[in-house]
Structures are given as structure tokens and as C-alpha cells.
Amino acid sequence: MFALDPDLPEDVSNVLKSAALLEVSEFRVFELAYAAWFGPSGDDEPDPKALDRCFFDYLYRDHVPTWVRSFAREVVRRAQAGSFDPADYGITHDPPTPTMIYLGIRYAVWAALTLGFIIASAQMVSGPTGCYLPPCY
């Protein structure tokens, strides 16, 4: 999968792995865990301040609540078993729209042109040395 700091507590490591597997933020893992533990009904919406408090305890003290620990272990266990699908947890990623693809290509072209301009400018300033990309010795 991927390597994490071996000094991390197992619960924190599982939260990080589940966030990576679901391709969501760690806070979203807390929200999903709350919905899975306490039920998805509208009456059981988490108190934002309580959820923030739990998340800050996680960030600063490495304290993972029981309901998040259970959820993260389930996600990691299912991924290791090969029966993992983010859609089971309500996570769906929309396919890129043509506008998104166009903008991505446009930004990549602009980045390449800018980098080329910077390299060409540096070459012109340094004079003819026979070296085209730094570092030159």
C-alpha cells in the first residue's frame, strides 16, 4: 500500500490509511465514522463542535475515538481482504468534465512554457558555457 512512520500509533495509522483508501480527508473519515456508528438518520447529525473537539484531540494528542477506530479498522481490513469499494461508504468521485480536462491541459502547457522561459532566460544571462541545464561545473 504505502509506508507510514513506524512510530505512529496503530489507530492513527489506520485513520491515515482509511483516508487514503477512501480518497477523502481525515476529517471526512471522522464524519463517515460518526454516521456509521450512530446511524445515518437526520436526528443523529453530529454536533459540529463535538466533532471538532474529537478531531483536534486526534490531531494534537493522537487520541482516536472508539467509533473512528472501529470504522478505520473495518476499512483497512476490507481493503486487505480485497472486498473494498469506496461506494459502499457513500464515496463516489465524479468523472472529469470536458472543462476540467481542458483547464488541466491548459495549465500544464502554461507551466511547461513558463519553465522553458525560465531555463532559456537563465541560459542567456549566464552566457555561452556549453551547459544547458544547471548545475553546471
- Cα–Cα distance between 70 and 67 in angstroms, integer? 5
Cβ atoms 12, 62 nearer than 8 A: yes
**Domain ranges (residues) in the chain:** 10-89, 94-137
Burial of 20 (0-12, 13-18, 19+ CB in 10 A): middle
Confidence of residue 8 (pLDDT cuts 50, 70, 90): confident
What would the DSSP string read from start to end of 86-114?
Answer: GGGGT---PPPPHHHHHHHHHHHHHHHHH
3-state SS, residue 58: helix
What would the mean pLDDT of 76-92 be, rounded to a whole number? 86
Residue tagged 522561459 (cell numbers): 117
Residue 120 reports pLDDT greater than 60: yes
Q: Which pLDDT score, from 0 to 100, does residue 117 have?
A: 94
Q: Which pLDDT score, from 0 to 100, does residue 46 have?
A: 72
CA dihedral 96, 113, 118, 124 (to 10 degrees): 170
Confidence of residue 127 (pLDDT cuts 50, 70, 90): low
What would the mean pLDDT of 93-103 be, rounded to a whole number? 92
What would the mean pLDDT of 7-25 be, rounded to a whole number? 89
